[in-house]
Structure 1
């Protein structure tokens, strides 16, 4: 997106006046739509639309072997696909760097045991564990990708059901397992501590959250904070520019406050979705 100087000045002044071009204040988010359990072949899925940003997440499972360094832990991997339909910038291999950056940020955010208890994925210490593949498809880009992706990933993991292992028989180096194939014979993941990412952008002398694509182009510096249970699980500086130490501290405090608010709203929404037996949403 190319902005002229007049457009950049208008955005800067609107942020200074705490009345952004779409009517929001600096700490407000755009409307969101969330839907879970929408990809039939997956073990869990979710689709989240944040204004013009659209993200689809699917979770798959397979039985794997734990690493020698962490014999009691399962595995989780993130894969991001930037659809060429999302923005012309993703044509060819244009979205590869962004996809790698987002997946690495998610891996770092979920590495902490307080953020995600991988021990629950262990089946047999040092021998067998569950491995989660979290596939993320960016369908449309309208700014603030990190926040939208983190919310959709947490919703998909909340929706994920792990089949129960009925029995495990060890015969020397051979391990035989019986996994239940019953639809309702499963357990849900505990993802209450899963991190929420918040992107804080500095425009002029002020910090804002949930930037639009135009606001991202006007940012003098931005930072992505992943917050799990009020703790920071990772911090990533994105885009060009830099932040003064005092501005960075202000951004971290704002990101932490907003992440806690988002997390509470998301959990309440997911509980309501579980209690609602009627199929609703734009994919139904």
Structure 2
């Protein structure tokens, strides 16, 4: 946590109460968003996202795997976050490992819903090749390059941008394999299918400071929070996941209000992210 003097704490809290934060934003305004795609050539898709001084990279790699017995009609997705030790002083030693684990779990909840796959923002059935036998295993790797607050939202945006940049190789399945055998597959090196991101959500974190909540909190603002709720919302307004941090409890009516606000804010964030992804893809094509 960022150490602040009493005057600094009162300045931050007073500004949020007056809807005028220390950097001039309103309570529900994001910092400048920047997106760059195709930053890791060896991945199936990748992107770099910056929210102000927060800088993160996400990549997606697809490998042939086998569905689980409990979900034979679905592929598998795993997420992992690595916090660079140079991203912030608190990331040195065990601090970075603990935050990496916390962020990985939160992303898994926000993107993939419950264990049943219900409400998942990533359609796991789209990763199946042969039901019960062959599927795509999608590995999403994230790196926190620089931390300046609001890491989870930035990582969620980077994953959505990376998946928009992802091409899944076309697969031909051998037709002569016996039904009980593991079929042979031929993976194309030239033909790729665009990954469908229509249901992939963005993550909106509402940080509660005093009686009010804000989006895209800076480290100084996060140090004054009582709690924070992260809501993942897709383009249809469906809630794909929810996670909370901070010790203070929240009244159910407050959580419902925060979800409503998050859905409203997500529309603006999705529009801005779509625009930035399109601009990034145009720059990538021009290279």
TM-score, normalised to structure 1, is 0.92
- Contact 1:198 / 1:226 at 8 angstroms: preserved in 2? yes
Could you say which residue in structure 1 is the equivalent of 2:187?
179
**1:140 and 2:146 aligned:** yes
1:116 to 102, 122, 141: 122
Tell me whether 97-106 or 154-163 shows the greater mean CA deviation. Answer: 97-106
| CA distances 1:123-177 after superposition (whole Å, capped 9, x unpaired) | 1111000101000001111000110000000000110100001333424524211
**1:246 and 2:268 aligned:** no
Tell me whether 170-179 or 14-23 shows the greater mean CA deviation. Answer: 170-179
Q: Distance in 1 between matches of 2:212 and 2:286?
A: 43
Partner-residue secondary structure (3-state), 2:95: coil
**1:214 and 2:224 aligned:** no
Q: How many residues align?
A: 277
Tell me how far 1:116 sits from its aligned partner: 1.7
Q: Which has the higher contact order (CA 8 A, sep 6+)?
A: 2
- Contact 2:227 / 2:247 at 8 angstroms: preserved in 1? yes
- Contact 2:119 / 2:239 at 8 angstroms: preserved in 1? no
Tell me whether 149-158 or 169-178 shows the greater mean CA deviation. Answer: 169-178
Could you say which residue in structure 2 is the equivalent of 1:230?
237
Tell me how far 1:113 sits from its aligned partner: 5.2
Q: Distance in 2 between matches of 1:31 and 1:51?
A: 6
- Contact 1:105 / 1:234 at 8 angstroms: preserved in 2? no
Q: Which structure 1 segments of 5+ residues have no match?
A: 280-284
Tell me how far 1:114 sits from its aligned partner: 5.5
Tell me how far 1:72 sits from its aligned partner: 1.2
Tell me how far 1:31 sits from its aligned partner: 0.5
**1:271 and 2:272 aligned:** no
For the aligned residue pairs, the C-alpha RMSD in angstroms reads: 1.6
Q: Distance in 1 between matches of 2:119 and 2:242?
A: 17
- Contact 2:133 / 2:182 at 8 angstroms: preserved in 1? no
Tell me how far 1:59 sits from its aligned partner: 1.1
- Contact 2:111 / 2:232 at 8 angstroms: preserved in 1? no
Tell me how far 1:275 sits from its aligned partner: 4.3
Tell me how far 1:24 sits from its aligned partner: 0.4
Partner-residue secondary structure (3-state), 1:143: coil
Could you say which residue in structure 2 is the equivalent of 1:160?
166
Could you say which residue in structure 2 is the equivalent of 1:33?
34
1:150 to 133, 149, 156: 156
**1:126 and 2:132 aligned:** yes
TM-score, normalised to structure 2, is 0.92
Tell me how far 1:105 sits from its aligned partner: 2.0
| CA distances 1:177-207 after superposition (whole Å, capped 9, x unpaired) | 111111xx11011111111111101112211
